[in-house]
Amino acid sequence: MYRDTRAEVSLSAIRDNVAEIRGLLPEGVKLMAVVKADGYGHGSEESARAAAGAGADCLAVAYLDEALTLRSRGVELPIFILAPIHPAEVMLAIRHQLTLTVTHAEWFRQAEMYWDPSGKEKLQVHVKVDTGLGRIGLRTREEWDELVPWLQQDCIEVDGFYTHFATAAREDTAFLLTQCARFLEMKEWSQASGIKVGHYHCAGSNAALRFPELAMDMVRIGAALYGFYPENLVQGVNLRPALSLYSSLIQVKLLRKGEYIGYDNSYVAEEDEWIGTVPIGYGDGWSQSLQGTEMLVEGRRSQVVGKICMDQLMIRLDRSYMPGTEVVLIGSQREATIAISELARHAGTVSQEISTSLSGRVERIYKE
């Protein structure tokens, strides 16, 4: 490691979170660990192995290349791809035993050009239905009826039928209940067709934690795997954040009253102040939207002042410190804590956007 800024990932936290969530679920419900976007910035392979070690039944990623990376690194758990892949890549998915999302019959019509459905290779799929998120998934009975003949072929195994909730982190559950009712109606379509479905699932992290009764056959645990969840809406759950972020002061200077800090003279000292420079910036994923947040120096909160630069930022200190003094951006120091949820609220986003934004310039160090 050649720089001061580093992220530490607690693998035991991921394992403990899997165990904690499993304890909430009805018996027999499977747990799908979502490790897309490089494990929400925590490392996909390391997160996958930690989740598997804690008893996750399968993994999920967003894209084909993420699944192939895990397979190339020896990850053997079943892997489900959440976004539809290009029909031309169907044989690649079959060879690597990957489970695909399908949303319409046209995908199969195009895939026939690259794959012989009458052959020996079986394709495992989950059907995605759109109950209100408006992203991907079939919406009408006509779309379902057009898809059914493809799903009835011997070479197709329908391992799942699922949807995704739009408002599971909101206190108001009205829209979630509307989506639930719609999903149960669509579930009846699948049952009436006579197609054997391996798993019905609708609950991601927030829904699984808040409403275990919606677990059905399986839950998809992404954000909660890493300790991100709406603590104000979930009772009796204690998930541990897996990510901490550290750096250090590389320079400390005394700024006189009326002097400026940052591009565009974005901060002016109202009195004589000690200013520290920290080697992290938006080139590392520490967005300018985090201007005004705080970091810990010897357990004391220090505010980010001036515009965040590409490689560095400045914080206002309570006194002079030696260069090399540790700075905590996410995590605890002495009796104080900077939670990633605090940063997300300031930026008007969610915790997982902060973690996935951390670039490859920030080394990940894995701790048991």
For tokens 């009712």, what's the residue?
181
Using an 8 Å Cβ cutoff, are 333 and 296 in contact? yes
Phi, psi (deg, nearest 5) at residue 267: -140, 135
How far apart, in whole angstroms, are the C-alpha atoms of residue 92 and residue 110?
A: 15
Q: Which residues contact 311 (CB under 8 A, 6 or more apart)?
A: 279, 280, 281, 283, 284
How far apart, in whole angstroms, are the C-alpha atoms of residue 238 and residue 240?
A: 7
- CB neighbours (10 Å) of residue 163? 23
> Residue 353 has what pLDDT?
97
How far apart, in whole angstroms, are the C-alpha atoms of residue 24 and residue 26?
A: 7
Superfamily classification of domain 11-228: Alanine racemase (3.20.20.10)
The secondary element (H helix, E strand) that includes residue 194 is: none
The tokens for 108 are 């199969």
Determine if residue 295 is labeled as part of a ligand binding site.
no
> Residue 8 has what pLDDT?
98
- CB neighbours (10 Å) of residue 113? 9
User: Could you give the 3-state DSSP secondary structure of residue 178?
Assistant: helix
> Residue 236 has what pLDDT?
86
Which pTM does this prediction carry? 0.95
How far apart, in whole angstroms, are the C-alpha atoms of residue 75 and residue 67?
A: 9
Name the catalytic one among 114, 122, 196, 263: 263
The DSSP string of 98-130 is EEEEE--HHHHHHHTTT--TTSS--EEEEEEB-
* Paired strand residues for 246: 6, 328
How far apart, in whole angstroms, are the C-alpha atoms of residue 287 and residue 305?
A: 13
Using an 8 Å Cβ cutoff, are 43 and 76 in contact? no
Architecture of the domain whose range is 243-349: Beta Barrel (2.40)
32, 64, 65, 69, 86 from 81: Cα distances, Å: 11, 7, 10, 13, 12
pLDDT in tens, the chain (368 residues): 688 999 999 999 999 999 999 999 999 999 999 999 999 999 999 999 999 999 999 999 999 999 999 999 999 999 999 999 999 999 999 999 999 999 999 999 999 999 877 777 889 999 999 999 999 999 999 999 999 999 999 999 999 999 999 999 999 999 999 999 999 999 999 999 999 999 999 999 999 999 999 999 999 999 999 999 998 899 889 999 999 999 999 999 999 999 999 999 999 999 999 999 999 999 999 999 999 999 999 999 999 999 999 999 999 999 999 999 999 999 999 999 999 999 999 999 999 999 999 999 999 999 99
Determine if residue 3 is labeled as part of a ligand binding site.
no
How far apart, in whole angstroms, are the C-alpha atoms of residue 114 and residue 316?
A: 60
Name the catalytic one among 30, 36, 128, 226: 36
The tokens for 294 are 């705080």
> Residue 352 has what pLDDT?
97
Please report, for the chain, the start and end positions of each structural domain, with discontinuous segments joined by +.
Answer: 11-228, 243-349
How far apart, in whole angstroms, are the C-alpha atoms of residue 355 and residue 90?
A: 31
> Residue 174 has what pLDDT?
97
Phi, psi (deg, nearest 5) at residue 94: -65, -45
Q: Which of 144, 142, 132, 220 is nearest to 180 (CA)?
A: 132
> Residue 85 has what pLDDT?
98
Q: Is 36 a catalytic residue?
A: yes
DSSP state of 289: G
Q: Is 263 a catalytic residue?
A: yes
